[in-house]
Chain A
């Protein structure tokens, strides 16, 4: 990351190749449209480059940092494009529609990790999983979620907290999973 900070394009290329996969996957999951997802990822990485890549290693992994930027950009894009209907796409089959050209070891490991985390999320009670997904992937506020579900705000907050706590317990120490 120090090399990226010094403006080395090759170093940036390495960061891109390591993290663009999860970044694009997240953007696609949130936006539900390939074009918009590409726009989000492009904006995010270029902003990281333009920003001088002010990455602080004490605040987490590079991947978490990159995905945090992508997440914020995707929410911004969703609010601009109001694409809520378009991104209501079931998970199944997306990977087949945009398959990896070749499955490298790193990609295989990433998909394996994804399966593990997705499994933990799927194991949550539906009402807890639902509020977490609406907040994180949908970019909705808890008030909007409460209104959508016809559920008291306090209940929504409680489900979020309980669901995340259960996820943490089922995944053990997440810091050992995230790299």
Chain B
């Protein structure tokens, strides 16, 4: 337990452990408990033990057969995607040669704000691509680059030399509209060993001012829990 942690003073620092592993703590409590866990080995042990029980809860559901139509749909989509390129790998651009990407990204998420001068909203109309345009994004990692390609109301995020998300994490794409909190998308992705990925950005792009990427726990999150590592300003 860390010095000054009020949980210990109340005598039972693990009272939130059950709610924590069930994923039902409120946001502020969640942050508090995470901070507490970082310094309390007793609670970490309890959480690990209770988490192994929670992982069995899905098996309390009556076990059903998978509808055949569902299997067909999923596997058909995977085969179709496979024809275009392996998961997590950058698909070959339909736009021809790669456009030059911004390299001047910064060494940490917090540094993104300081990089405002670098490639904010740079919009490049690509030669021979009709109305397609690409927005060069700010990236938190010095060697990485990212671009959002827009065409016909569809967006694709292409990253290069991006470090892998930390163990147990995955990158999640968010859509931000004005001052509203970022909305989650179903786009979760990892990168190849070369740090490349091409990710379809799902959802309605109407009113979207920024496309963001944050590292989140596997399975994604409903709200960002970390600072963005990619910010692409569309408007």
Which residues of A are interface residues toward B (Cβ below 8 A)?
5-7, 9, 12-13, 16-17, 20-22, 24-26, 28-29, 34, 38, 41-43, 45-47, 49-54, 56, 58-61, 64-65, 67-73, 75-76, 79, 91, 94-95, 98-101, 107, 110-111, 113-114, 117-118, 121, 132, 135-137, 140-143, 145, 154, 156-165, 167-168, 171, 173-175, 177-178
Between B89, B184, B219, the greatest number of chain A beta carbons within 10 A of the residue's beta carbon is seen for: B219
Which residues of B are interface residues toward A (Cβ below 8 A)?
14-19, 21-26, 49-50, 52-71, 73-75, 77-79, 81-82, 85-89, 164-165, 167-168, 170, 184, 186-192, 197, 199-200, 218-222
Would A132 and B22 count as touching, CB distance under 8 A? yes
How far is A20 from B87 in the complex, measured between Cα atoms in Å? 19
With a cutoff of 8 Å between Cβ atoms, the chain B residues found around residue A9 in the complex are 75, 78-79, 82
Would B190 and A98 count as touching, CB distance under 8 A? no
How far is A112 from B19 in the complex, measured between Cα atoms in Å? 28
With a cutoff of 8 Å between Cβ atoms, the chain B residues found around residue A143 in the complex are 26
| Given the contacts A69-B218, A164-B50, A141 and B165 also touching, CB distance less than 8 Å | no
Q: State which of B64, B168, B184 has its C-beta within 8 Å of the C-beta of A59.
A: B168
Known: A41-B66, A46-B77. 6 other contacts (CB 8 A): A26-B58, A52-B89, A56-B167, A94-B62, A98-B67, A137-B61
With a cutoff of 8 Å between Cβ atoms, the chain A residues found around residue B65 in the complex are 21, 24, 98-101, 107
Between B14, B19, B54, B77, the greatest number of chain A beta carbons within 10 A of the residue's beta carbon is seen for: B19
Would B75 and A16 count as touching, CB distance under 8 A? yes
With a cutoff of 8 Å between Cβ atoms, the chain B residues found around residue A94 in the complex are 62, 64
Please name the 6 residue pairs, one residue from A and one from B, whose CB atoms are nearest each other, closest first.
A7-B86, A52-B88, A161-B18, A160-B18, A29-B61, A100-B65
How far is A69 from B62 in the complex, measured between Cα atoms in Å? 19
